[in-house]
Amino acid sequence: MRIALVSDIHGNGPALEAVLADIRRQTVDTLICLGDVATLGPQPRKVITALRDAGAACILGNHDATLLDLDKAEEYQIAPLLHPSLRWCADQLTPDDFDFLRSFQPRLDLDLDPVTRLTCFHGSPRSNTEVLLPTTPPEMLDEIFGQESATVLAGGHSHIQMLRQHKGRLIVNPGSVGNAFRLPFQPKTNPSLLPWAEYGILNLADGILSMDLKRVPFDLAAFKRIAAESSLPRR
């Protein structure tokens, strides 16, 4: 069983194209998107079409939920600075695109074999706005995952790749396809972005479980040109 995990694409068509091309070379059984697909970047429709054509199972991120109800942007912890771009992205979408967004699930549970369960979410199992980091205290992880029985817990939202063990379970974040963040952050500034697309592949074979975190180059110049030529509001 090989499962590709992508997350936080944010309307970046060239990055998603590069990741999907690499996934096709890997031969996976299932593609799961952990949310936040069609906001902030200049190609919301292209990204939705690509995910739909690829047969991806999709988790509802906070940005996806906001596209379905723009009045809840602050409730989903999206800064006012980003609200104009949210409205612009929503205006680009068709009724079929919104139907696809409405098919996204808050979480997805998959039994990979009799003893291995994968639970997928966006921020955490209890909230698509909760941030999990390599530095999240173990006591907080106990609170977040105390009722979960999965072997592997996979989320996105932070835009930071992570592979972390907690009390025998694997907590994974494949990173961001469209806006990979560099650590550490500088206080009171926008996160610095890394010049590649990120994703992961979870592999289970003969009882051996592994997680590969991938960094894929993409045409950054093309993305910048597409953004400049669009009417996407600048931040």
Q: Which residue has the higher pLDDT, 26 or 64?
A: 64
Residue with tokens 């952050």: 185
The kind and range of the H/E element at 130 are none
208-227 pLDDT, tens digit per residue, is: 999 999 999 999 999 999 99
pLDDT on residue 22 = 98
pLDDT on residue 209 = 96
Distances in Å between the alpha carbon of 145 and those of 42, 112, 121, 152, 173? 35, 19, 12, 11, 15
Spatial CA neighbour of 51 closest among 86, 22, 13 = 13
CA atoms within 13 A on the CB side of 37: 31
Dig out the tokens for 198 from the structure. Answer: 């990120």
User: What is the chain's mean pLDDT, rounded?
Assistant: 95
Is the pLDDT at 23 greater than 90, yes or no? yes
> pTM of the entire structure?
0.95
93-131 pLDDT, tens digit per residue, is: 999 999 999 999 999 999 999 999 999 999 999 999 999
- Give backbone dihedrals phi and psi of 95, rounded to 5 degrees, phi first: -55, -35
114-173 pLDDT, tens digit per residue, is: 999 999 999 999 999 999 999 999 999 999 998 899 999 999 999 999 999 999 999 999
Spatial CA neighbour of 119 closest among 57, 38, 54, 175 = 57
> Beta-carbon neighbour count of residue 48 at 10 Å?
25
pLDDT on residue 139 = 97
Share of the chain above pLDDT 70, in %: 97
pLDDT on residue 103 = 98
